[in-house]
Amino acid sequence: MADMKLYDMKRAPNPRRVRIFLAEKGIEVPMVEVDIVSGENRAPEFLATNPRGTLPVLQLDDGTLIDESMAICRYFEARHPDPPLFGRDPLEQAKVEQWQRRIELDGLYNVAGIFRNTAPHLAERAAPGAAPDMKQIPELAERSRALLPGFFRMVESQLADQEYVAGGNYSVADITLFCTIGFARWVDVGIPDDAPNLQRWNAAMMQRPSAKA
């Protein structure tokens, strides 16, 4: 039998989503650090665990492997339903899923588009994980940077009259937004000055103990 473990990288946004989720649930899982910067995720030893070369990856006690951050979070949500982080009833679950996807697609992916096409250590491997070596495309970074203001306007409007992004309760959508904002700092993109609701929300998220996960 294998032992449960989470293949992680402390600085990366997707593993951070899972760590915050686990912290909010009060779940402790042993972590194995994998360094993407040095290419450790493309080494044969790690590819034997996840041929895609991406993080995070959860290994269960029976050796089953689950990759993709939201798949891992859904596994733990089903095993440990309290506190519910994917919604408390059908309508809230739909809203959480809606905002989780909007933030991921319009925010996180565009920040990643900037980072992967500008970071010096990714100059020859701009595609994620174990994908073939590919050169950066500066135009993709420019397109992503041009799309981010619309993303910020969307979440700023959504937070105008509510505490959390998907409604009245903290959820995985807040986790994804928080990690997206943190990741954006890597590419010198901060919360806009004309987004007081988002600034207020982010300050509150920083005070949660899970922010340090």
Domain containing 27 — which CATH number?
3.40.30.10
Q: What is the distance between the alpha carbons of residues 9 and 12, in angstroms, rounded to a whole number? A: 6
| 172-184 helix and 13-25 helix, angle to the nearest 10 degrees | 140
Q: Which residues lie below 8 Å from residue 27, measured CB to CB, with a gap of 6+?
A: 76, 80
Preceding peptide of 83 cis, ω within 30°: yes
Q: Do 126 and 155 sit in the same domain of this protein?
A: yes
Q: Are residues 107 and 189 in the same domain?
A: yes
Domain region containing 101: 90-212
pLDDT in tens, 84-121: 999 999 999 999 999 999 999 999 999 999 999 999 99
Domain boundary among 79, 112, 144: 79
Question: Is there a single domain that holds both residue 183 and residue 106?
Answer: yes
Domain count, the chain: 2
Q: Is residue 21 within 8 Å of residue 83, measured between CB atoms?
A: no
Decide if 85 is inside a domain: no
Please report whether residue 84 resides in a domain.
Answer: no
User: What is the pTM assigned to this prediction?
Assistant: 0.97
Residue range 138-162, pLDDT digits in tens: 999 999 999 999 999 999 999 999 9
d(CA 171, CA 88): 10
Nearest to 146, CA basis, from 180, 189, 103, 193: 189
pLDDT in tens, 168-213: 999 999 999 999 999 999 999 999 999 999 999 999 999 999 999 9
48-67 mean pLDDT:
97
pLDDT of residue 2: 75
Task: Provide the edge-to-edge strand list for the sheet that holds 65-67.
Answer: 31-33, 5-8, 57-59, 65-67
